Structure 1
Amino acid sequence: MTGTPDDTGLTHRGLAASGAGRILLIACGALAREILALRDRHGWDHLDLTCLPAILHNHPEKITDAVRDAVEAHRDDYARICVVYADCGTGGRLQTACDALGVEMVPGPHCYAFYEGLDRFAQYDEPTSFYLTDFLVRQFDAFVWKPLGLDRHPQLREMYFGNYETLVYQAQTDDPALTALAEAHATRLGLRFERRFTGYGDLETRMARWAGGH
């Protein structure tokens, strides 16, 4: 069974008839494009992907149960399951669940940290920075602007973003069109703009370990 990445819904990619030697990645939908790009680049054909809705990041209290249900649903079909989430606002509950399920997840507080690299991100002290990834640049209206009600009540911008100073765009790809769009989002929010080319950061490192059986 094959499919295409869905920014908001559940997707399966390359589900094998037999789980012998295959690894399933259960991931946030916001990472689908990047995971598939890395898999294809490195020829990790034994990695399959299923994505949970990216919009769960607006409801982090639901992430742990959704991941647990997905692991249980696919456990018998795969030699190994890995969870491509960091803590993502679950307050440690996701890590506790993954430990109990015997599956590994991505370390760190959120995807911004593992894209930057955990060690490097820890060196920054940026409480006034608002982060966007390639996914969030593309899906800014659906995941930021509209959920916050700014499409209906733009006066709320100051309440939500008044304490921020800079929009930091963590670019996974070198795409001038995405950079221009990210800068436009910064302008809409009244923030300074900074672009950092992070590439795939620790996501690539972690996937390489899993693909190699570590």
Structure 2
Amino acid sequence: MAAPADSADDPSHGDGLIPARMLVVACGALAREVLALKALNGLDHVDLACLPAQLHNSPQDIPAAVRATIRANRDKYRRIAVAYADCGTGGYLDRVLAEEGVSRIPGAHCYAFFAGPESFQALEEERLGSFYLTDFLARHFRTMVIEPLGLDRHPELREVYFAHYTRLVYLAQTDDPALDKAARAAAAELGLPFEKRSTGYGLLGDFLTAAA
């Protein structure tokens, strides 16, 4: 891996670190978005380490997994940032990051940082009981929603799990007809009215460029 021009005479700075390189520790559900933003903004010095998106099914495991990834890479990078929101950890992820001296993208979950906090709050106040999809969830609806909830084996549980939901809102990062179709199919499978809101990458782009 080539060193930046301003450190070519001393590529390791004598300490084994990669000069000026940054690592983003991200949820696997954000991999496409982070890579797209890297290309869009010319962030060639930013590397990506993704943790399994399935951790969202056991959010209590996220902080330890993030800590382990930070510690495994601390000696290789001068900067590390975390592309996770709180994601159901009840504040424990923030405590871990404070101990490790690493920052994360603000927000309770990816829906909020994609939509933006004010827009997401408006969505919540507009109608109670919204079920949200992102591009990732539209693409992997069966493996991330249907199968973990056991709805593939017991479809009758749909009425139990989704009795109090009033709509499915697709927060779209891209304009992709195939994903639109998948999101509409997901709404139909859950028996919910469908709405689409185009968010783009929301706060994720600002977070990456500021951290880099």
**TM-score, normalization: structure 2?**
0.90
2:185 alignment partner in structure 1: 184
CA RMSD in angstroms, aligned pairs only: 1.2
Aligned residue pairs, count: 196
Matched with 1:85 is: 84
User: 2:17·2:78 contact (CA, 8 Å) conserved in 1?
Assistant: no
Partner of 1:139: 140
Q: Which runs of 5+ in 2 are unaligned?
A: 2-15
1: distance between equivalents of 2:169 and 2:154? 24
Q: Which runs of structure 2 are paired with 1:52-63 in the superposition (5 Å)? A: 52-63=51-62
Residue segments in structure 1 that go unaligned for 5+ positions in a row: 2-16
SS of 2:156's partner is helix
Distance 1:177 1:55 in 2: 23
Write the letter of the residue equivalent to 1:48.
Answer: D
Instruction: Quote the Cα distance in structure 1 between the aligned partners of 2:43 and 2:128.
Output: 37
Structure-1 separation of matches of 2:159 and 2:206? 38
- CA distance in structure 2 between the partners assigned to 1:25 and 1:54 by the alignment: 15
Deviation at 1:18, TM superposition (A): 4.8
Partner of 2:155: 154
Superposed structure 1 runs of 4+ greater than 4 Å apart = none
Matches of residues 12-91 of structure 1 in structure 2 within 5 Å? Answer: 18-91=17-90
Q: In the alignment, residue 204 of structure 2 is paired with which amino acid?
A: L
Assess if the C-alpha contact under 8 Å between 1:118 and 1:202 holds in 2: no
Q: Which moved more, 1:150-159 or 1:123-132?
A: 123-132
2:210 aligned partner: 209
TM-score by length of structure 1 reads 0.89
- C-alpha contact (below 8 Å) 2:135/2:174 kept by paired residues: yes
Contact 1:31 1:135 (C-alpha < 8 Å) held by counterparts:
yes
Indicate if the aligned counterparts of 2:107 and 2:113 stay in contact, CA closer than 8 A.
yes
CA distance in 2, matches of 1:18, 1:93: 29
